[in-house]
Amino acid sequence: MKSKSCIVILVGTDGSGKTSIAKELESSLSIPVNYIYFGLKEYWLPGLDIWVKRFGDNGIIFRALVLPLEYLVRRLMFPRTGFVLLDRVPGWVFVGRFRFLYWFYQWILPKADFLVHCTGDPKLIFARKPERSLGATVKDVDKWRRVADQYPARQKINIDTTANSLIVCVEELRAALK
């Protein structure tokens, strides 16, 4: 981590431990960390939450026009130096039905120094987040494996969050970041 900035991106299905690992890593480092949630629960553009409630977030207009603007605003606010810990990216860009948008989003999404793929046994992940079916969790674990394979990064790290404790996962990540 000797460069001016180090961007670590965590990916994986809901319940795979991304946010838990990010928060634990952030609190355990002795350097300042810029934690940025890049998911779709928090919008930065004024009024975007109203748009989503009214029209949804799965249509082509949202994903081809509105969402890129949201991500562009987030990128403009992105720290230029320091340690950046990014929780989530839109995985559908790499494997979804709007795959033709990949080249456009590749310009907008941050480039990773380290891509951390949080994965594990789908049954155990499902037990953490039972809002979806086990079948949907199995499909999502596979989707995020494909996203991790395709996302450009200098180094990729796979962490099985169901086979290890949070502390072990963070220590494994810290060792890889050195």
Half-sphere exposure of 98 (CA within 13 A, CB side): 18
- Contact predicate 21/33, CB 8 Å: no
Query: Does the pLDDT at position 1 exceed 60?
Result: no
What is the tally of structural domains in the chain? 1
Domain extent, residue 170, equals 5-43+81-177
- Any domain includes 75: no
Mean pLDDT value of segment 120-143? 95
10-19, 68-77, 122-131, 162-171: which has the minimum mean pLDDT? 68-77
Best CA proximity match to 92, nearest among 150, 133, 45, 53:
150
The dihedral formed by the CA atoms of 82, 80, 109 and 166, expressed in degrees to the nearest 10: 10
Average pLDDT over residues 54-78: 85
Whether the CB-CB separation of 90 and 8 falls below 8 Å is answered with: no
Tell whether 49 is covered by a domain: no
The 10s digit of each residue's pLDDT in 142-175 is 999 999 999 999 999 999 999 999 999 999 999 9
Average model confidence (pLDDT) across the chain: 88
Give domain status of residue 53, yes or no. no
**Backbone phi, then psi, for 13, in 5-degree steps?**
-70, 165
What one-character-per-residue DSSP string does 29-85 give? -SS-EEEEE-SSSS--STTHHHHHHHH-S-SHHIIIIIHHHHHHHHHHTS-SSEEEE
- Beta 112-119 vs 153-160: how paired, if at all? parallel
User: What's the pLDDT tens digit per position in 85-123?
Assistant: 888 888 888 887 777 788 888 888 888 999 999 999 999
pLDDT at 7 over 80: yes
| For range 11-22, the mean pLDDT | 94
Q: Do the domain assignments include residue 109?
A: yes
DSSP bridge partners of 84 = 7, 34
Decide which of 167 and 40 is more confident: 167
Domain-located, residue 116: yes
Indicate whether 153 belongs to any domain. yes
The CATH code of the domain that includes 108 is 3.40.50.300
